[in-house]
Amino acid sequence: MVRPAGAPQLNRKQEALLVELWRGGKHTTLDLAELFKVARSTVYRAIQRAGAPTDEQEPLPPPHAADRATWCYENRATYR
């Protein structure tokens, strides 16, 4: 079945489950993208719609490339 352009890739239940799994801390955004057969950007948008991440959760990178270098530098200890 082909999804019409602009239609949501995940329904509300799928999006809620995705966010719940992510908040559980056992799945990365890449794991979830593969599990739900969507792009990682879709996973990030679903997480952002659910609210800001807490300290225990994986921080989200900024959307603009210019800010990404600063974000990577400031969060370097998190990913070592």
**How many CB atoms are closer than 10 A to CB 18?**
23
According to the model, what pLDDT value does residue 14 have?
Answer: 92
Q: Tell me: the pLDDT tens digits for 42-74?
A: 888 898 888 855 445 556 655 565 566 676 777
> Tokens 């200890």 map to which residue?
77
Q: How far apart are CA 79 and CA 68, in angstroms?
A: 14
Whether 57 and 51 have beta carbons less than 8 Å apart is answered as: no
According to the model, what pLDDT value does residue 55 have?
Answer: 45
According to the model, what pLDDT value does residue 13 have?
Answer: 93
Q: What's the angle, vertex CA 51, arms to CA 62 and CA 13, rounded to 5?
A: 115
According to the model, what pLDDT value does residue 24 have?
Answer: 84
Q: Tell me: the pLDDT tens digits for 4-29?
A: 666 678 889 999 999 898 888 888 88
According to the model, what pLDDT value does residue 79 have?
Answer: 55
Does the pLDDT value for residue 1 go beyond 90? no
